[in-house]
Structure 1
Amino acid sequence: MAINALGYLGVRSDKLDDWGDFAGKLLGMQKIDRGGKALAFRMDDRQQRLLVSDEPGETLAFMGWEVEHKSDLELYAARLDVAGVRVQTGSKDLCDRRFVDSLIWFEDPGGNRVELFYGPMIASDPFVPGRPIDGFMTGPLGMGHAVLHVKEIEVMMPFYRDLLDFHVSDFGLEPYGLYFFHVNNRHHSFAMVGSGQIGFHHFMVEFQNLDDVGQGYDLAQLEEGRVAYTLGRHTNDYMTSYYANSPSGFFVENGWGGRIIDPETWEPHQTHDGPSFWGHERLYLTEEGGRKRLRDMRLDAAARGVRAPQVADCPWLYGELAKQGH
């Protein structure tokens, strides 16, 4: 029984035109019209990776996690039921709208809708990006990662770790609690920010080419207030990225070169160097509201000579291995 990838995400928003430009022209996804009330976006050969529905709320609507076997749905449903979690079986209509064979859904302790699915539909026509890019790092690694604001980490941790079998990659306690989880070889497909809030923090898409990130960064800087975090590199997954403000207010990380791990030998651990080696200046924060504190952590890491390994963790090599299914 295993959840093995983040398959898709859903967002509630009545800003469909803005999302069409943002996900299509900036992120480079392929826009698909779903009949005027929703927009869908492709990233690869899957029929759908992101669905934006014309609803009020401007937040996460659901997360879709793929399971390895169809029977896993029944096993997880039984486990959740014993734990007192109400589980619903997806109707044929819902499965058709998600372009999957079958699914179950439920809510986590924070009220976030979680869908477990089996059998994603593959498109018959090739992926056509919304701007010239080499494509996204998906396949067995999934769509990317999703990060939630969490009010009570002690409640959310056992739900995802113990009931859903998400595996802790690492965690940091300064300047706030950050917990990262893997379900495949991607360093993390899910994370929780112990901010004391409830909501969607960001999702990440990983590009196959660093230049696609850089060219997107140039495009984002043409729009006032579009860049939320400047270009930088994370300390735990070695991702080089920038963060954009989405039309719905949460962030979207645009990254390249993320760390690939071996889940069989990986040991969870605490990190102490802060979120980033360099960059990732939080433009949305005030100096007193955390911007200076995070900058000081980066400068301290630099003064101590903290760097990512350049041989054992080669993003190019990881990219080539991922393409070959290793």
Structure 2
Amino acid sequence: MAICALGYLGIRSDRLEDWSDFASGLLGMMKIDRGATALAFRMDDQMQRLLVSNEPGDTLAFMGWEVETDEDLQSYAGRLEKVGAPVHLGSRALADRRFVRDLIWFEDPMGNRVELFVAPMIADDPFVPGRPIDGFKTGPLGMGHAVLHVRDIEVMLPFYRDLLDFRVSDYGLSPYGLYFFHVNGRHHSFAMVGSGQQGFHHFMVEFQNLDDVGQGFDLAQMEEGRVAYTLGRHTNDYMTSYYAHSPSGFFVENGWGGRVIDAATWTPHETTVGPSFWGHERLYLPEDGGRKSLRDMRLRAAAEGRRAPPLIDCPWLYSEMAKKGHS
């Protein structure tokens, strides 16, 4: 029994035109018009990865997690109901709207809607990006990752870790709880920030080509206030990325070169060095509102000589470059 990938996300927003420009024009997703009620976006051969419904609220509507078999849906439903969590069987109409064979849905302890599904539908026509890019790193790794603000991490942690089998990659305990989880080889497909708030912090899409990130960063800088975090590199998953303000207020991380781990042998560990080796300046924060302390952590990491491992110790990146004939 296993949840194996983040399959899709749903957003509630009445800013469909803004989302069209953002997801297609900046991120490079392929727009699918669902009429006046919704916009959908593709990232690969799957029929739908992001759905924006024309509703007020500007927030996360649902997370869709793929399971391996129909039996997995039944097993998770039984496990959740055993601890008193109501589980709903998705109707045929809902499965058709999600472009999956079958699904169940329920809410986590903070009221976030979680959908588990099996067998996503594959499109007949090829993926055509909204701007010239080489595509996204998806496939068995899923669409990327999703990160939530949570009020009480001690309640949320056992729900995702123990009931849903999300495996801890690493965690930080100060100044508040921060947990990263993997469900496949991607270093993390889910994370939670124990900030005392509730809501969507960001989702991440990973590009196949670093230049696609850089060119998107150029485009984002042309829009006043679009860039939330400058270009930088994370310490835990080695992702080179920048963060953009979405039309709904939360962030979208645009990344490349993320770490792929061996989930079977990975050991969870605490991290204390801060989130980034360099960059990721939080432009949205005031100087005395956390921006300086995060900068100081990066400068300390640099002074201590902290680096991502050399290319030869980064198996995914090494293999990708080998495929393209680089030595």
TM-score scaled by length of structure 2: 0.97
Deviation for aligned residue 1:319: 4.3
Classify 1:226/1:169 alpha carbon distance in 2 versus 1 (closer, same or farther; 3 Å): same
Deviation for aligned residue 1:154: 0.3
Residue of structure 1 equivalent to 2:318: 317
Classify 1:86/1:41 alpha carbon distance in 2 versus 1 (closer, same or farther; 3 Å): same
Residue of structure 2 equivalent to 1:281: 281
Residue of structure 1 equivalent to 2:12: 12
Q: How many Å separate the matches in 1 of 2:155 and 2:74?
A: 24
Residue of structure 1 equivalent to 2:258: 258
Which residue identity does 2:146 align to in structure 1? A
Classify 1:322/1:249 alpha carbon distance in 2 versus 1 (closer, same or farther; 3 Å): farther
Residue of structure 1 equivalent to 2:146: 146
Q: How many Å separate the matches in 1 of 2:122 and 2:276?
A: 36
Q: How many Å separate the matches in 1 of 2:123 and 2:321?
A: 24
Query: Quick check: 1:26–1:131 contact (8 Å CA) kept in 2?
Result: yes
Classify 1:167/1:287 alpha carbon distance in 2 versus 1 (closer, same or farther; 3 Å): same
Q: CA RMSD of the aligned region, Å? A: 1.4
The SS at the match of 1:94 is: helix
Query: Quick check: 1:175–1:294 contact (8 Å CA) kept in 2?
Result: no
Q: How many Å separate the matches in 2 of 1:111 and 1:321?
A: 45
TM-score scaled by length of structure 1: 0.97
Which residue identity does 1:173 align to in structure 2? L
Deviation for aligned residue 1:148: 0.1
Q: How many Å separate the matches in 2 of 1:21 and 1:64?
A: 23
Deviation for aligned residue 1:176: 3.2
Which residue identity does 1:251 align to in structure 2? F
Deviation for aligned residue 1:317: 2.7
The SS at the match of 2:170 is: strand
Q: How many Å separate the matches in 2 of 1:89 and 1:319?
A: 40
1:236 matched to 2:250? The reply is no
Query: Quick check: 1:259–1:318 contact (8 Å CA) kept in 2?
Result: no
Residue of structure 2 equivalent to 1:24: 24
Identity between Structure 1 and Structure 2 (%)? 77
Query: Quick check: 1:59–1:248 contact (8 Å CA) kept in 2?
Result: yes
The SS at the match of 2:313 is: coil
Q: How many Å separate the matches in 2 of 1:116 and 1:321?
A: 36
Deviation for aligned residue 1:314: 5.0
Which residue identity does 1:132 align to in structure 2? P
Alignment map for 1:69-84 (pairs within 5 Å) = 69-84=69-84
Q: How many Å separate the matches in 2 of 1:253 and 1:314?
A: 23
Give a deviation string over 1:3-45, Cα, whole Å, max 9, x none: 0000000000000000000000000000000011100000000
Query: Quick check: 1:203–1:253 contact (8 Å CA) kept in 2?
Result: yes
Q: How many Å separate the matches in 2 of 1:64 and 1:320?
A: 32
The SS at the match of 1:81 is: helix
Q: How many Å separate the matches in 1 of 2:204 and 2:259?
A: 14
Which residue identity does 1:308 align to in structure 2? A
Q: How many Å separate the matches in 1 of 2:176 and 2:287?
A: 16
Residue of structure 2 equivalent to 1:36: 36
Deviation for aligned residue 1:316: 2.6
Q: Runs of 5+ in structure 2 lacking a partner? A: none
Residue of structure 2 equivalent to 1:167: 167
Q: How many Å separate the matches in 2 of 1:321 and 1:190?
A: 29
Deviation for aligned residue 1:313: 1.4
Residue of structure 2 equivalent to 1:100: 100
Residue of structure 2 equivalent to 1:136: 136
Residue of structure 2 equivalent to 1:178: 178
Which residue identity does 1:155 align to in structure 2? V
The SS at the match of 1:160 is: helix
Report the more deviating stretch, 200-209 or 304-313: 304-313
Residue of structure 1 equivalent to 2:188: 188
Residue of structure 1 equivalent to 2:302: 302
Deviation for aligned residue 1:177: 2.1
Deviation for aligned residue 1:315: 5.1
Query: Quick check: 1:79–1:163 contact (8 Å CA) kept in 2?
Result: yes
Deviation for aligned residue 1:144: 0.2
Q: How many Å separate the matches in 2 of 1:169 and 1:86?
A: 28
